[in-house]
Structure 1
Amino acid sequence: MTLKRFIPLIILTLYAVTAAAQSQLTFSCQEWDFGTIREADGPVSHTFTGENTGDRPLVILDVVTSCGCTVPDFSKRPILPGQKADIGVRFDPANRPGSFSKELTVYSTERKKIGVLRIRGTVLPRERSVEERYPLDAGGGIRLNTGLCAFAYVQQGRRVESTVGIVNTTQKSLSLELIPEEQSGLLTTEAPQQLAPGQEAEIVFSYYIPPTEPRYGTLRDVLGIRIDGSTSRIPLVVHGIGVDPMRTPAGGGTGPRAQLDRNTLKFDVVRRGGGPVRRTVTLSNEGDAPLRVRCVESEKGFTWQLRPGTTLPPGESLATEVHFDPARADYGVQVGHLMLITDDPVRPMRKLRVTAIIEE
């Protein structure tokens, strides 16, 4: 490098070092421990004090927090060299029981990070009311903690179990009966037949897919609730996704790996009287074992032509079509989801979002 080119580089380096030295906000304490606080006592606050240790005025542009429960308070007035400035922080423990650790990042008007502050502590939860613990009013004095029992994957040959909380808020005993409205044939339910005054209990749901009778895709059950002979307006909905057992491939391989070339498929503007339209989606097997399609589910007039039983060798791809008949859809924006289940041991389910705009 010539001297003529080297001198400007030295000048730029010195300028950068000088500028950095001129933008310093030094905190004597960068972390504050609130210790143990009670949720019932409400928000707590602390003030951090920083000093401008540079040789020119400094302005705090912003203080960014890692959570909406943490609110900073600061001034944008210039801080002269040697002067101090306060940054307040307010933490709201509402609905945040347990340990917490929140970070605050301080930026100057030069858009440089000039400080990182942290608060931490432990929140003791307040006692919840019955209405808070059981927010869903099923009628007749019965309340539930939820009306939806959502399982993720339900693997063949492995029983999965979940519960819904229930409470009798009246001063009398109530009879309880669950009436199947939609049935998968794979759900087992255990529920109390009688609830004493003020009694809290659980309804236990379990799915089991026999390995000798595999079931793939959506499992859905809907149960009506009958309380002292009267049917509640609130049903209980239970659902899951049936898949193969998710085993680690033998021999250190990856097994099959399903990959779609897109997550969203757009049909854009479609004329309602123009007849069916189609778009292409590519499914690839990026693993080292054959990939088998177990289930394909379509909705809202979108039809995926991929068929269960299709097998894709390792490293190969398959172009598949999605069809849409606008004559069977309403005008305006149509949005649907297509679901693909394969024997991929890591991500057996893939969802494809499909959209179309229907015009005359």
Structure 2
Amino acid sequence: MKRSILTILFGTWLAVAWAQPKIVFDSKEHDFGTFEEETGPVTHIFKFVNQGNEPLMVTNVRTTCGCTASQYTREPIAPNDSGEIKVTYNPKGRPGRFSKPVYVTTNASVDRETLRIKGIVIGSKSRRHANPYHIGDLSLRSLHIPLFDTPKGHLRTGQLVVRNEGKTELIPIFKHVPSHILVEMIPSILHPDEEGIIKIHYDPDAVDDWGFRRDEFSVGFEHEKGSEFNTITVSANLLDDFSTWTPEQRQQAGHLTLSTDVVDFGIIKGNKNCKQTVTITNSGKSKLTLHKVTNENRPLKTKLKRHTINPGKSAELIIEVDPSLARTNLLNCRVMIISDDPNQPSVPIRVLGSFE
């Protein structure tokens, strides 16, 4: 008798356990693809079937933000009958990629299901930043990455904002990158209307140079019809690192003093070269090292007789002008002296004159 009662109870429990609704979707994810913000709200209908043996109730549909709205079948759904959940995405003010979950709560044994909508919104033209430079569909905010003062012993980073203004994915590539510069695209794949950055990592210790320096690399694309590239310039002023020096160390260092910081050649007649001399004195307490003397004016040449100066001693810097190389009638430029003087590691000399 007890065995019969147990059998009946077990059978009843099995019947209850198997008497459940079951929601089955035709798909739990929908990709709207790429569409423009001006298109307005886009909608997808998720369809499902109750594959259980009891009526199914959708009790709630919840989205993660106000940008999606949902409508769904609210009446009980009999076994083998179907229902639907309508999900709308409003792209206004939301350019770029999106991926949004939609949570569906029911009376089934698994009481919550997760749906997902995704896509890429091409932003309104009125919202976009006007990037003046273009390589195909890639627009660039600038073609120059300035790093300014770049002390030895430290990696420097810089970046350039870019945007994909096309309707397909872009994967920019880089060519002719100097060995002391590492370049990366973040993200590596730019989706339509997506902004990214070209990020550089600059190692000043990997280049044997001082003072102002320009480097270049190319960014662009290679495809069946050919290639599209443009040149990015990186500028840096390479100096010693004095960031950890104490006031006492600075006081005991070598210090650079000029006999003059302006050299005026006046009126230069004919094509005969002209020279003037600037005296560089070490007024400090330690040896002074002159790393480099630079200038970017074609008719100007410099000659430094000595690159190390002991305390109290001097060296001569000869500045020479070749009028035959002048492209304008005026001479107005700078000669830069790069040294290990912690108080003024980069010292300018103004050079003036006119050609007749």
The Cα offsets for residues 41-62 of structure 1, whole Å up to 9 and x where unpaired, read as: xxxxxxxxxxxxxxxxxxxxxx
The Cα offsets for residues 195-217 of structure 1, whole Å up to 9 and x where unpaired, read as: 11112111111211338x75323
- Does 1:197 pair with 2:192? yes
- Does 1:210 pair with 2:178? no
- 2:287 matched residue in structure 1: 290
Alpha-carbon distance between aligned partners in 2 of 1:214 and 1:259, rounded to the nearest angstrom:
25
Give the 3 Å change call, closer, same or farther, for CA 262–231 of structure 1 in structure 2: farther
Percent identical across equivalent pairs? 19
Number of equivalenced pairs: 224
- 1:152 matched residue in structure 2: 148
Aligned-pair CA distance for 1:276: 1.2
User: Do the aligned partners of 1:184 and 1:219 also contact (CA within 8 Å) in 2?
Assistant: no
- Does 1:220 pair with 2:214? yes
User: Do the aligned partners of 1:184 and 1:220 also contact (CA within 8 Å) in 2?
Assistant: no
Aligned-pair CA distance for 1:155: 2.2
- 2:232 matched residue in structure 1: 236
Give the 3 Å change call, closer, same or farther, for CA 159–356 of structure 1 in structure 2: same
Alignment gaps of 5+ in structure 1: 1-127
Describe the SS at the equivalent of 2:129: helix
User: Do the aligned partners of 1:257 and 1:291 also contact (CA within 8 Å) in 2?
Assistant: yes
Describe the SS at the equivalent of 1:327: helix
Q: TM-score normalized by structure 2?
A: 0.56
- Does 1:185 pair with 2:182? no
- 2:166 matched residue in structure 1: 170
Q: Show the 5 A alignment for 1:28-67.
A: none
Give the 3 Å change call, closer, same or farther, for CA 312–131 of structure 1 in structure 2: same
- 2:347 matched residue in structure 1: 350
Alpha-carbon distance between aligned partners in 1 of 2:165 and 2:205, rounded to the nearest angstrom:
39
Alpha-carbon distance between aligned partners in 1 of 2:248 and 2:276, rounded to the nearest angstrom:
39
Give the 3 Å change call, closer, same or farther, for CA 345–250 of structure 1 in structure 2: same
User: Do the aligned partners of 2:299 and 2:324 also contact (CA within 8 Å) in 1?
Assistant: no
Structure 2 residue identity aligned to 1:199? E
Larger radius of gyration: 2
- Does 1:248 pair with 2:245? yes
Alignment gaps of 5+ in structure 2: 1-125
Alpha-carbon distance between aligned partners in 1 of 2:328 and 2:145, rounded to the nearest angstrom:
34
**CA RMSD, 1 decimal:** 2.6
Describe the SS at the equivalent of 1:300: coil
Alpha-carbon distance between aligned partners in 1 of 2:134 and 2:286, rounded to the nearest angstrom:
49
- Does 1:303 pair with 2:301? yes
Describe the SS at the equivalent of 1:205: strand
Q: Select the residue among 337, 341, 346 that pairs with 1:340.
A: 337
Alpha-carbon distance between aligned partners in 2 of 1:259 and 1:277, rounded to the nearest angstrom:
24
Aligned-pair CA distance for 1:292: 0.7
